[in-house]
Amino acid sequence: MNPPGFATSARSLPAFRRFGMLVGLALSAALLAAIVHDRGTRVEAATRHSLAVAVGVDRLLHYEIRHLERALRGMAGDADGYVRDYPSQSNWDISSAIRSVISRNAELQDIDLYDREGKPIRRGVSEYSSRTDFQPPPGQEDLRVGSLRIQGHSQPVVPLALRTPDGNWLVARLRTGELQRLLEGLDIGQLGSAAILDRGGYLLARQGEAGHVGKRMDIPVELAAGGTTQVRRVSPIDRVRRYASFTSTSGYPFVVAVGIAEREVLAPWWNYVISASLLLVFYWLGAAYLVRRLLSSETARLATQGELVRHADWLAKAQEASRAGVWALELEQEKVRASAQAAALFGFDKKPDLIALEDFFERMHDEDRERVSREFAESLSSGQAFHSEYRVVLPDRRIRWISARGARVEGEAGKPLMTGTIVDITERRENQAQIERAEMQFRELFDLNPLPFWVFDLESLRFLAVNEAAIRKYGYSREEFLGMTILQIRSPEDQADVLESVGDSAEPRESESVWIHYNRDGRPMYVRVHSSSIQFDGRPARLVLAEDVSERVAYEEDLAWRATHDESTGLLKLRALIEQVDARSRNWHTPYGAAYLQLRDLEVVSPTLGRRMGEAILAEISRRLSGVASAYGPAAYLPSDSFVLVARDARQTERLVADMVRALSEPVEFEGGSHRVEAWIGVAHSPGVVPGAAEQVVDHAALAALHSRNESGAATEFRLEMTEQAAERLDTLSRLRRAIADNEFELFFQPVTCLTTGGVVALEALLRWRQSDGSYVPPGHFVPLAEESGLIVPIGEWVLDHAARAGARLAAVGRGDIAIAVNVSAVQFLQGTVPATLRQVLRRHGLPRGALHVELTETAMLKSRETVRSSLEELQREGVCVSIDDFGTGFSSMAYLRDLPLDYLKIDRSFVIGVHRDEKNASICRALIALGRGLGLRTIAEGVEEKGEYDWLRDNACDYVQGFYVARPAPLEAVIERLDAGRLVVSGR
């Protein structure tokens, strides 16, 4: 009969086959379920995504229509007033406020006014304004939406009708292109579709396509009362099946439809199906191969199984007695008879021979031998049972722990014996030692941890144990700690939170918040608490680690302060002020005002007086304005020369501005002198108690500050037309950019005449901007704008190139001795590229040294002195003469006249006017001429328009003149013609 193991082996193969079949079937079922679930998941995800996109578009549409509704409500009262005041007007003369609304809302084609019966009262400004009667759309709402209208070749529009307080109707026509814009860039795949419809199902806008506007589509009946719904349908437009979501939650009669193509949703799923099918095929092929291999090896395995079973039986019997042995001591002979396992425990050979007792003691550990010997002798003499635990050292130097027990008995023939057992307790003693080490490590971790540690009772809240770090940190002695509760290191206001934390049973506990603890001296500490529940002396307790984060909290507070405040002045940053005003304005209950202050000429203080003086002046102004703001509201600083102060009550704005002006009226005193600070101030008020309007109010005040440069008075109040002027400024900038590409600029030339010889020595190139109607934009209108925007750099390069062309033209007609003088902007010059550009144009047009002159303003001289010096020296090496233009009108400094390589000094026209009859101007001109002669500079007088001025300058040793008296600016060919005709003389001007 075969052993039981053989029967088990014989049954194992069929069981394995059954197991493999079950696993294969389970895997197949699981993959099928995963495929079905994956398909459902993808469809559900696509449906949720389409709904999320639809709701997002619906929300944007709601904001858009609500914005337009607010704009129309703002116009309603003005429209009624206009009808009452001007009943005989046939066309609607739109006010500045209405024009502003239309300019800010490009999505509106036009706005008309109808009476309550729908008869037209006023037309808008568009050529598509309707002259027919208006039928108010049905409904009870004040704002009603009409049906889609397509007017000729213009963009389709949707009428928005708002009932005015007098019962009239303001009708705005919303371009569907704005609705089309809301649908651009949506994440709905290549075959996805998004559309906006009215409640009748007519298509108002569709993503990427405007040609289907006006078509009617079926809307789910569930959407009649608003809300959202989802369907799976085929689009009647492109025949694509999609998972579509419809939503109408904006409060307006519009429906947003978003669909994601079924083909795109399920494309990855089909890949998954193919992969799963291949996996199943490979599994069944592998399973079949494995079963075949197992069948071939089954016979060999059964042949050896019997031997393995017998050895397993022997091993099991040996393991039963592996950890214990029996011994017997014959007291008369002091010989020990030990079992094989007992002998093995001491490292002796497993043999039945007697072993000398002293051999056993020799194997004991040196530290245990004497103790065990004493205990054994006492047991023999007293007759008491022997029990001892000790270590033995095996021949291979391993140490084993033994627990030995024994007692005296009578043997054969009454011979005394002591018999007993020995057990290997090495594992238990090692575990015990490990526990003891862990306890020691915990005690050291607790006592020597550099962070405060303590244990407190969960019921009484009393401290049960504290470490040295807690004693040092909190200043209490250990005895004082153990007589306190944890509430005594917390403030009374925190006791409720402490009790709630103690009652929290969640584990582990790591406080995300920062708590405040108090030491014995009452000094607060910011701590982060980590705790865990433990059993301490059989009672529920909690182990707490308190991490002192005071420095980190201080650092974070400093970072937070730096994020919202300017370090140099201590005032708020502008973004922080706007957020603060928006947050607090809800509680102010009244409109508020803002004053925008921009310091004048502060950027030239540091180059002139030194950086430290500039910083000191800024700090003093900041201190004064901060003191002013403390009585009104928050204040902010905008590097590097602007401040914003807010009055919580708009009625106090005038007093705020007066205090600001008073604060700036006193000059800033510093060592060696004083400096009077001037500023431009703009004022704006909030449009009522409107949340989130602070940024617009500050922008309006800043715009008013820009306008205050050209207006007198302490401050300039924001006016609505300023936005129109700003828009015009932006339009000029846009046209200025196009003017460079469209070659709309021209150069006119004005001769510079020598007062000694009467000959023309140079032509000053003057930039002109020609318009399509033949008129010219004044340079004073567009040149400052070009300098502020940086467009002066490409324009200046264009001027240099065309001035060089003019020089080449003069050389071609035999006038190569006449130089071309070019005005170079400070912005362009400070970039350091002017010398290289001049070399290029001179080389390109084959001009000699001295053919071009450069004219610079004093502003360029005062900025970046080393950069200016380097560029001027490079120009001098190239043979280019340099003139100082409009000398005496800026922030003059004699230092640059002395230190910089210059050639000419141009006297500004303001000093030349009436010089022959105005003694003050005459004194200034004499001084400037003498200054130039003393510095080795030649002088040029600008703006000479009278013979008396010309004669006075000639008689007072001025070198050169230019102005209308000599010749007006003209195109180059006209100037050449005059030169050839000899008409450039005073009498022939």
Q: What is the pLDDT of residues 277-318, one digit of tens each?
A: 888 888 788 877 777 777 777 666 666 665 655 654 443 344
Which pLDDT belongs to residue 288?
A: 78
What does pTM read for this prediction?
0.41
Q: What tokens does 661 get?
A: 């002006």
Which pLDDT belongs to residue 965?
A: 92
Q: Is the predicted pLDDT of residue 753 greater than 90, yes or no? A: yes
Within 13 A of 195's CA, how many CA atoms are on the CB side?
30
Q: Diameter of the chain by CA atoms?
A: 167
What's the mean pLDDT in 660-670? 85
Q: Is the predicted pLDDT of residue 49 greater than 60, yes or no? A: yes
User: 412: burial class by Cβ within 10 Å (0-12, 13-18, 19+)?
Assistant: exposed
Which pLDDT belongs to residue 940?
A: 95
Helix residue ranges per DSSP H, 402-538: 426-448, 468-474, 478-482, 495-503
Cβ-proximal residues to 9 (8 Å cutoff; 6+ apart), any chain: 298, 301, 302, 305
The chain-wide mean pLDDT, for the chain, equals 81
596-605 pLDDT, tens digit each: 998 887 766 6
What's the mean pLDDT in 3-24? 61
Contact 140, 157 (CB under 8 A): no
CA distance 573 to 563: 8
User: 961: burial class by Cβ within 10 Å (0-12, 13-18, 19+)?
Assistant: buried
What's the mean pLDDT in 191-203? 84
80-125 pLDDT, tens digit each: 777 777 666 545 555 555 666 777 777 777 788 888 777 887 776 6
Residue 199, Cβ neighbours under 10 Å: how many? 15
Which pLDDT belongs to residue 9?
A: 47
Which pLDDT belongs to residue 7?
A: 44
Confidence of residue 507 (pLDDT cuts 50, 70, 90): low
